[in-house]
Chain A
Amino acid sequence: MSSLLLGILWGVAGVLVIAGGAVIGVWWERKVAGHIQLRYGPQQIGPAGSLQMLADVPKLLFKEDIVPSGADRPLFKWAPLMAFAPVAAAMAVIPFAAGWAPFDTSVGVLFFLAVPSLEVVAILVAAWAQRNSYAAIGGLRAASQMIAYEVPRTLAVAPLVLLAGSLRPTEVVAAWRWWWLPLLAIAFVVYLIASIAEMNRGPFDLPEAESELVAGYFADYSGMRWAIFMMAEYGAVITASLFAAATFLGAGWPFSGALGVVALVVKTSVLVTIVMWTKWTLPRVRQDQLLRFCWVVLVPATLVQLAIVGVVLPWM
């Protein structure tokens, strides 16, 4: 019973972390985008516009929840939650500090790679339920893209597992040494790129390509249901960055204890900023270019990385 209670508690905590992260993330992204585009971004509400979301969230809450007449109602209504749940679940296995993760399991790394990919089901459901051609195209693009980029993403994490000799995230953190940074540079870059594609963000935001598909798979969503999709997207950005900061960049290194947590948060923020910076700088690739880039560049790069680690491993 108590474990169930604890689970619920952690679940609520995880959702709150993602929601809070999304609120800060949206503000930060608007600032980053603004400054890249010779503007200021939000300025009026709170210092540097930081309380902008206090105005935006109620606006979303009070918006009419429209279900298109041709839509499959139950699927349409449940799809946003189906998209959000896997992202929140992935939060559970992230090693926040040395030797501690909310849900410390021996297959944590696998869990982290596998569970967020369930989002693709939610996106397909959302796309199909709307009965909208744009959404359908967006959903199919998302499916092909997310499934394709699973491969380099998983292969990029494999060297970590090899070096640590464990699939338990806390053990990966414990085994981490600073020289993994140069050794796993290729894997880290591939992981970052594949994660950006996995979370459908620019330059790989084809499923929601504004200039072609208007809003892609959530074209007909409004108000809070749309916001939950956005939250899932921000959640994916945050969890992927957290995971990279914790495993590739050595969690709290070079500090420990409370300072270590600060270091982890700083590293995560830097990665999140890089993700935003990329989106607002680069044009969008085309579907065939996207898939070719995955199979011709990223996958071979991770195989090279695996070979390098394979050579180093016997000397450890």
Chain B
Amino acid sequence: MVTEELTLNIGPSHPSTHGVCRLLVRLDGEIVTHVEPIIGHLHRGIEKMAENRTYLQVVPLTDRLDYVGSMYANWAYCRAVERLAGIRVPERAEYIRVIVCELQRIASHMMGIGSSAADTGATSAFLYAFAQRDLVIDLFEELCGARLTYNYVRPGGVSFDLPDGWVERCRAFTAQHPKAMLEIDGFFFGNAIARARLKGVGVLDPDAAVAWGVSGPSARGSGVDWDLRRDDPYSVYPRFDFDVPIGSNGDAFDRARVRLWECIESCRIIDQALDQLEPGPIMADGLPRLLAPRPGDAYDHIESARGSLGVYLVSDGSPRPYRMKVRSPAFCNLAVLPLIAVGHTLSDLLVILGSLDPVFGEVDR
């Protein structure tokens, strides 16, 4: 009998590519023998565009990087600008940034867990996760009027103070969220079919994770105990007591489940931050209308929902960045896909892709 390999183009528009990604796949029956992510379908040249805008005008561009977690890119960029221009951020603004970014982590992980569920066909578990995501988005909408691209964290602080009653509504959210997570843990991660689909699939060993620059939950699922919030502390994170959940097997199951536990830890951080939050200014004093940092460069990174998100800025003394470069965790995490997906079935390939939780706005930039 003569058999032939089947070349299949998955995407760029496909229900499971989680954005605009094309996977060039060669199949031997159902087994994947070759997979190549072809990126660039969502390239908008954000880094180049930044060179023609003032420092403040770049913030909305960073919203479009990781559009599932816009707050992170806002914050990473603003930290680089603040480092470059030597701006001191008021304490209240730092607390608010931590709160919104931990909320953002929850919203983003709901997408990650939800897509792991949807990829395995559990549409109901997907919607349970999305119901939680929607609660966070409602809080954000109250805060800054936007539901997806917030443009909230600005160089020097944040754009709006917390509205009346927001703290209570945020506490109400963190009070119910861990229960909802345990519910999803029970009925999705506890389900025999889900376990059979996710366990042992797409195993990434810790050495490879480090070698390929994988970071965030995708690396922690393999047992790489690395979290910038704890290991390279920034902002007010050293004042909080939280754990960094890690997995042991490095499979799709551990990667998804690490995200679930991180959400519960995020609730702990938010509660502590709300307790310590004190009145004060939300924007640094004496900022010029037009920021023009002295010539030099600065790099800063934060722990986004996808991993180490870094922004490198070069200034030539003009009011526009001379060069911006984003170290995108989604891009590095996606690179590892061929390594861990070859040899699995077509069904598993998309589960593995979903478990890496890429966002193509950030991959393609």
| Residue positions of A touching B, CB distance < 8 A | 33, 36-39, 133-134, 136-137, 202-203, 205-206, 209-212, 214, 280-289
Q: How far is the CB of B53 from chain A (nearest CB, A)?
A: 39
Residues of B within 8 A of A286 (CB): 196-197, 345, 347-348
Cα–Cα distance between A282 and B193 once the two chains are bound (Å): 7
Picked from B6, B118, B128, B345, the residue with its CB within 8 Å of the CB of A211 is: B118
| List of A residues within 8 angstroms of B16 by Cβ | 211-212
Q: Tell me which residues from 189 to 244 in chain B have a Cβ below 8 Å from any Cβ of chain A.
A: 191, 193-194, 196-197
Please measure, in the bound complex, the distance between the C-alpha atom of A156 and the C-alpha atom of B193, giving whole angstroms: 23
Whether the Cβ atoms of A37 and B196 lie closer than 8 Å is no
- Residues on B with beta carbons closer than 8 Å to the beta carbon of A283: 117, 120-122, 125, 188, 191, 193-194, 197
B30 within 8 A of A: yes
Determine if B120 and A284 form an interchain contact, defined as CB atoms under 8 angstroms apart: yes
Do the beta carbons of B121 and A209 come within 8 Å of each other? yes
B82 within 8 A of A: no
Known: A211-B15, A280-B124, A284-B120. 18 other contacts (CB 8 A): A37-B124, A38-B128, A137-B30, A202-B121, A203-B193, A205-B121, A209-B347, A211-B119, A211-B121, A212-B16, A212-B350, A280-B123, A283-B120, A283-B188, A284-B121, A284-B122, A285-B197, A287-B30
B39 at the interface (CB under 8 A from A): no
Known contacts A202-B121, A209-B121; A285 and B193 CB within 8 A of each other: yes
B25 CB to nearest A CB, Å? 10
Q: B4 to chain A: closest CB distance in Å?
A: 12
Query: Nearest Cβ in chain B — how far from A150, in angstroms?
Result: 21
What is the total of A-B residue contacts with beta carbons within 8 Å? 81
- B112-142 interface (Cβ within 8 A of A): 117-125, 127-128, 131
Answer whether A203 and B124 are a contact pair too, CB < 8 Å, given A133-B8, A214-B15, A285-B196.
no
B14, B125, B127, B194: the one within 8 Å of A39 (CB): B127
- Of B117, B118, B346, which contacts A137 at CB under 8 A? B346
Q: How far is the CA of A171 from the CA of B27 in the complex (A)?
A: 50
CA–CA, A289 and B120, complex, Å:
13
A224 → B minimal CB distance (Å): 23
Number of interface residues of B (CB under 8 A): 30
Residue of B14, B27, B193, B197 most packed against chain A (CB within 10 A): B193
Partner of A133, one of B6, B119, B121: B6
The chain B residue with its CB closest to the CB of A137 is: B346
Contact sample, A vs B, 20 pairs, CB 8 Å cutoff:
A33-B123, A36-B124, A37-B124, A37-B128, A38-B127, A38-B128, A136-B6, A137-B8, A211-B118, A212-B16, A212-B350, A214-B14, A280-B123, A282-B121, A283-B120, A283-B121, A284-B122, A284-B197, A285-B196, A287-B345
Smallest beta-carbon distance A290→chain B, Å:
10
Is there contact, CB below 8 Å, between A203 and B121?
Answer: yes
User: Judging by beta carbons under 8 Å apart, are A37 and B127 in contact?
Assistant: yes
Which of B117, B124, B188, B197 lies at the interface centre, i.e. has the most chain A CB atoms within 10 A of its CB?
B124
In whole Å, how far is B134's beta carbon from the nearest beta carbon of chain A? 10
Question: Judging by beta carbons under 8 Å apart, are B131 and A38 in contact?
Answer: yes
The residue on A at minimum CB distance from B201 is A286
CA distance A133 to B6 in the complex (A): 8
Asked if B346 and A212 sit within 8 Å, CB to CB, the answer is yes
User: How far does the Cβ of B248 sit from chain A's closest Cβ, in whole Å?
Assistant: 22
Question: Do A282 and B15 touch (CB < 8 A)?
Answer: no
Complex CA–CA separation, A33 to B124 (angstroms): 8
Nearest neighbor of B116 in chain A, beta-carbon distance: A283
B131: nearest residue on chain A (CB-CB)? Answer: A38
Contacts of B64-92 to chain A: CB distance below 8 A: none
Contact B120 A211 (CB under 8 A): yes
CA distance in complex: A38, B124 (Å)? 9
> In the complex, which residues 1-48 of chain B have their Cβ closer than 8 Å to any Cβ of chain A?
6, 8, 14-16, 27, 30
B128 CB contacts on chain A under 8 angstroms: 37-38
B127: A residues at CB distance < 8 A: 37-39
Q: How far is the CB of A32 from chain B (nearest CB, A)?
A: 11
| CA distance in complex: A212, B30 (Å) | 11
Which chain B residue has the least Cβ–Cβ distance from A202? B121
Closest 6 CB pairs of A and B: A284-B121, A283-B122, A283-B120, A37-B127, A211-B16, A283-B193
Closest-by-CB residue of A relative to B344 is: A286
Query: Which residues of chain A have C-beta atoms less than 8 A from B347's C-beta?
Result: 206, 209, 212, 284, 286-287
- Residues of A close to B118: CB separation below 8 A: 211
Q: Which residues of the partner chain B approach A288 to less than 8 Å between Cβ atoms?
A: 30, 345
Most chain B CB within a 10 A radius of its CB, from A39, A212, A283, A287: A283
Bound state CA distance, A210 and B194, in angstroms?
16
Contacts of B120 in A (CB 8 A): 211, 283-284
Residue of A136, A205, A211, A289 touching B350 (CB-CB under 8 A): A211
Complexed CA–CA distance, A262 and B15 (Å): 42
Report the nearest A residue to B187, measured CB to CB: A281
Residue pair A284, B193 in contact (C-beta under 8 Å): yes
List of A residues within 8 angstroms of B30 by Cβ: 137, 287-288
Bound complex: CA of A133 vs CA of B10, how far in Å? 10
CB neighbours (8 Å) of A205 from chain B are 121
| Residues on B with beta carbons closer than 8 Å to the beta carbon of A212 | 16, 346-347, 350
Q: Which of B306-365 contact A (CB under 8 A)?
A: 345-348, 350
Nearest B residue to A38, CB-CB: B131
Q: Roughly how many angstroms separate A288 CA and B346 CA in the complex, as a whole number?
A: 11
Chain B nearest CB: distance from A135 CB in Å?
A: 12
